[in-house]
Amino acid sequence: MLIREATVADAEGIAIVHVDCWRSTYKDIMPMDFLDNLSYEKRTELWKKNISGEGNYIYVAENNEGEIAGFISGGKREKNQVEDSGDLTAIYILENFQRMGIGKKLIKELFFKFEELGFKTIFVEVLEDNDSRYFYEAFGAELLKTEKIKMADAELKLLVYEWKDISPVLS
């Protein structure tokens, strides 16, 4: 599995992973009509903008056939006013590629970039019912706060985790 920086040419592959992962990960969390209406085309356009955007760092996991099996993105959210900090904004890996160490490789790649940028604290937001929160906890993220949010006409709990020290992730 090759881990590399994303290019605009990867936008469609990232969009497919993004939509397919939302449909599998959130099937018991979000309304099905919302998930059914997710569009590869719209997500492709979104990822073209994200990849081209300054301050966005996106890496893909590419399998031996050159297909994108997963991705991670991060940077600094506008609402993040904490000095020397950044945000892990998304990590998705197709179901048949999960539990193979790809997530670990992706998070390390992004966190090496964060270290280079001088980020000391990293935040990540995850829905309470999303089991990926255990992935973050396994890498040393600690729960900072819980918020109620409304998304797709569903009332959900959003957990905000933080890493105060990213060095264990990099080792």
Q: Could you give phi then psi for residue 18, rounded to 5 degrees? A: -60, -55
**Strand stretches in 23-76, DSSP E:** 57-62, 68-75
Selected from 3.40.630.30, 3.40.640.10, 1.10.10.10, 3.30.365.10, the CATH number assigned to the domain covering 2-170 reads: 3.40.630.30
The pLDDT profile of the chain, 171 residues, written as one tens digit per residue, is 999 999 999 999 999 999 999 999 999 899 899 999 999 999 999 999 999 999 999 999 999 999 999 999 999 998 999 999 999 999 999 999 998 999 999 999 999 999 999 999 999 999 999 988 999 999 999 999 999 999 888 899 999 999 999 999 998
With a threshold of 0.85, does the pTM exceed it?
Answer: yes
User: For the chain, which residues make up each domain, given as ranges?
Assistant: 2-170
- Give the tokens for residue 2: 């090759």
From the list 121, 108, 46, the residue with the least C-alpha distance to 76 is 121
Provide the pLDDT for residue 139: 94
Report how many helices (DSSP H) and strands (DSSP E) the chain contains, helices first.
6, 7
Provide the pLDDT for residue 142: 97
| CB within 8 Å of 139: residues ≥ 6 apart | 104, 107, 163, 168, 169
C-alpha to C-alpha distance for 22 and 28, rounded to whole angstroms: 11
Provide the pLDDT for residue 171: 85
Provide the pLDDT for residue 137: 95
